[in-house]
């Protein structure tokens, strides 16, 4: 390892002044995110794992650069590689790493208030609910593992009122399938993540996320989560749900140009296009790999890109595995699926980098289209370069936004 590389790593650990915003962004905690952006050591670790070549050389030469906020870097649930997702602390970390866009996945409570959760039914893995007095309210209360069957539970935001939801303590998303007690069920965190920052983490409503992200100078990409309850729910229709999410940005005085609302349901996207056209212009249709999908075979594609454009859809967000394939020289390459979507005039957003854990141990679900050639953590930057330069994505979600911020700053994105 070179002396220059070690120096770059050391410098990365210092709070570096950033010129990402002309104004100073400070939230109620007093943390100033325009003047204290930092990459931390992870980008340099990943670069050190890359194979020698022009990309590694270019990224290495950027080690002395000053971090700047960029909308190319999107905080996926904040920075959940190390922080409990959708918490104030997770988003503090993401903003401090230069993420220019932050995400609140939007679910609703029993009293139809909007909160930040990745799914309506994930409270049993993302909070301590199974060891609280609210456990009995879960749709499926905790059942211990026995006779070869895994432990089970299902706790929904719609099982609780907002006041009840706010009493829960968030944790890293995990559960222990072998648990025989509720306390044991709270475990199961992957060994490449950490529980170091679970302590006193803070849950957020959607409205609170808007205020926080705005104070930190970041833009917004809320995702309307597909309900697991039948809709309408207690008179609350899917259209009411989609409208309420947008109304909370309007109530906060947020310019629609700063908001990229997302949904896996095309009807939600079309609702925004028709009823809230300023917000609908940047509405994002999310799609993901399904069984039988082949990123190189158009017969397996379920999306008609031209039809989406005709309906007013401008943004498509496929999972990473849909946009990558194995190239002629056994390198990561852009898929035919991604290029066809781009050729149709759709803006593409990629999700989610650094969700698969160490690539040295295999790429996992997010890299399944290139698993045969992924064997190093340095491949995160190889994949990112293909997405940015060959596919031409507008932004990349990551569980640790500093990785994408570093690349975007180095490339001038």
The dihedral formed by the CA atoms of 210, 91, 18 and 218, expressed in degrees to the nearest 10: -20
Q: How crowded is residue 113: how many other Cβ atoms within 10 Å of its Cβ?
A: 18
Q: What is the pLDDT of residue 28?
A: 58
Which of 131, 151, 185 marks a domain boundary? 185
| Residues 226 and 330 grouped into a single domain | yes
Structural domain contains residue 220: yes
Report the pLDDT averaged over residues 356-365. 91
Report the pLDDT averaged over residues 329-336. 97
| Residues 245 and 314 grouped into a single domain | yes
What's the CATH code of the domain at 82?
3.20.20.190
Mean of pLDDT over the chain? 92
| Residues 260 and 357 grouped into a single domain | yes
Q: What is the pLDDT of residue 26?
A: 53
pLDDT in tens, 40-75: 999 999 999 999 999 999 999 999 999 999 999 999
Q: How many percent of the chain have pLDDT more than 90?
A: 90
Task: Report the side by side order of strands in the sheet with 223-224.
Answer: 114-116, 105-108, 223-224, 262-263, 284-287, 315-318, 347-353, 395-398, 70-75, 99-102, 219-220
CA distances from 221 to 99, 192, 258, 311, 346 (A): 12, 27, 8, 21, 17
| Residues 125 and 92 grouped into a single domain | no
pLDDT at 195 over 70: yes
| Residues 96 and 121 grouped into a single domain | no
| Residues 212 and 316 grouped into a single domain | yes
- Helices in 266-378 by DSSP H: which ranges? 266-275, 277-280, 305-310, 320-323, 336-343
Q: Is the Cα dihedral 288, 294, 300, 304 positive or negative? A: positive
CA distances from 241 to 3, 142, 224, 279, 359 (A): 55, 29, 8, 15, 38
Q: Burial level of 346, CB count in 10 A (0-12/13-18/19+)? A: buried
Angle made by CA atoms 352, 358, 363, in degrees to the nearest 5? 60
Q: What is the pLDDT of residue 18?
A: 32
Residues in the chain, overall count: 413
pLDDT at 266 over 80: yes
Report the pLDDT averaged over residues 176-188. 98
* Secondary structure (H, E, C), 90-147: HHHHHHHCCEEEECCEEEECCCCCEEECCCCCCHHHHECHHHCHHHHHCCEEEECCEC
Structural domain contains residue 377: yes
Q: What is the pLDDT of residue 362?
A: 85
Structural domain contains residue 215: yes
Q: What is the pLDDT of residue 32?
A: 53
Least reliable range by pLDDT among 51-55, 195-199, 282-286, 309-313: 195-199
| Residues 234 and 363 grouped into a single domain | yes
| Residues 144 and 249 grouped into a single domain | no
Report the pLDDT averaged over residues 298-321. 96
Report the pLDDT averaged over residues 329-356. 97
Tokens 């609703």 belong to: 108
Q: Which domain holds residue 220?
A: 3-104+204-411
Structural domain contains residue 191: no
Report the pLDDT averaged over residues 260-272. 98
pLDDT at 16 over 80: no
| Residues 390 and 258 grouped into a single domain | yes
pLDDT in tens, 270-285: 999 999 999 999 999 9
Q: Collapse the DSSP code of 224 into the 3-class scheme (helix H, G, I; strand E, B; otherwise coil) and give the result.
A: strand
Which of 136, 154, 185 marks a domain boundary? 185
pLDDT at 206 over 60: yes
Q: What is the pLDDT of residue 361?
A: 84
Token pair, residue 299, equals 């017969």
Whole-structure pTM value: 0.92
Q: How many domains are there within the chain?
A: 2
CA distances from 170 to 113, 126, 230 (A): 18, 6, 26
| Residues 154 and 231 grouped into a single domain | no
Which of 156, 185, 214 marks a domain boundary? 185
pLDDT in tens, 104-146: 999 999 999 999 999 999 999 999 999 999 999 999 999 999 9
- Residue 96's pLDDT band, with cuts at 50, 70 and 90, is very high
Structural domain contains residue 192: no
- Residue 224's pLDDT band, with cuts at 50, 70 and 90, is very high
Short-list 67, 120, 121, CA closest to 96: 67
DSSP of 372-399, one letter per residue? GG--STTHHHHHHHIIIIII--SEEEES
- Residue 36's pLDDT band, with cuts at 50, 70 and 90, is confident
Q: What is the pLDDT of residue 154?
A: 98
Q: In degrees rounded to 5, what are phi and psi of residue 124?
A: -70, -20
Structural domain contains residue 384: yes
| Residues 277 and 345 grouped into a single domain | yes
Q: What is the pLDDT of residue 27?
A: 57
Structural domain contains residue 193: no
| Residues 307 and 369 grouped into a single domain | yes
Cβ density class 232-259: b for 16+ within 10 Å, e for less = ebeebebebbbbbbbebbeeeebebebb
pLDDT at 12 over 60: no
- Residue 392's pLDDT band, with cuts at 50, 70 and 90, is very high
Q: Collapse the DSSP code of 285 into the 3-class scheme (helix H, G, I; strand E, B; otherwise coil) and give the result.
A: strand
pLDDT at 319 over 50: yes
Structural domain contains residue 196: no
d(CA 399, CA 93): 11
């Amino acid at each position: 390892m070179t002396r220059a590389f070690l120096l770059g790593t050391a410098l990365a650990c210092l709070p570096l002044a950033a010129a990402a915003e002309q104004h100073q962004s400070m939230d109620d905690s007093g943390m100033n995110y325009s003047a204290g952006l930092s990459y931390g050591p992870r980008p340099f670790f990943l670069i050190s794992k890359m194979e020698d070549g022009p990309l590694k050389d270019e990224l290495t030469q950027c080690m002395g650069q000053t971090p700047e906020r960029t909308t190319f870097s999107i905080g996926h649930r904040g920075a959940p590689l190390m922080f409990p997702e959708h918490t104030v602390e997770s988003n503090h970390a993401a903003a401090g790493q230069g993420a220019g866009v932050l995400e609140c996945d939007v679910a609703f409570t029993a009293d139809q208030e909007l909160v930040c959760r990745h799914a309506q039914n994930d409270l049993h893995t993302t909070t301590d609910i199974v060891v609280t007095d609210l456990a009995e309210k879960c749709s499926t209360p905790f059942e211990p593992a026995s006779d070869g069957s895994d432990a089970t539970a299902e706790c929904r935001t719609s099982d609780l009122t907002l006041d009840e939801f706010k009493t829960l303590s968030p944790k890293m998303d995990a559960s222990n399938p072998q648990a025989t007690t509720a306390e044991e069920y709270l475990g199961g965190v992957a060994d490449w993540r950490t529980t170091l920052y679970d302590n006193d983490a803070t849950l957020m409503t959607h409205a609170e996320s808007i205020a926080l992200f705005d104070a930190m100078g970041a833009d917004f990409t809320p995702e309307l989560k597909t309900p697991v309850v039948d809709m309408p729910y207690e008179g609350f229709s899917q259209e009411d749900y989609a409208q309420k999410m947008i109304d909370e940005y309007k109530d906060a005085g947020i310019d629609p140009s700063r908001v990229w609302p997302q949904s896996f349901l095309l009807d939600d996207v079309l609702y925004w296009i028709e009823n809230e056209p300023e917000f609908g212009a940047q509405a994002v249709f999310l799609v993901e790999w399904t069984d039988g999908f082949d990123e190189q075979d158009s017969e397996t594609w379920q999306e008609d890109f031209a039809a989406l454009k005709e309906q007013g859809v401008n943004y498509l967000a496929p999972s990473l595995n849909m946009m990558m394939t194995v190239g002629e020289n056994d390198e990561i390459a852009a898929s035919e699926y991604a290029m066809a979507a781009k050729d149709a005039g759709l803006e593409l957003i990629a999700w989610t980098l650094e969700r698969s854990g160490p690539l040295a141990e295999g790429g996992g679900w997010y890299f399944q289209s290139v698993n045969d050639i992924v064997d190093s953590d340095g491949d995160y930057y190889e994949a990112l370069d293909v997405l940015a330069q060959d596919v031409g994505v507008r932004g990349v979600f990551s569980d640790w936004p500093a990785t994408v911020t570093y690349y975007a700053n180095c490339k001038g994105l």
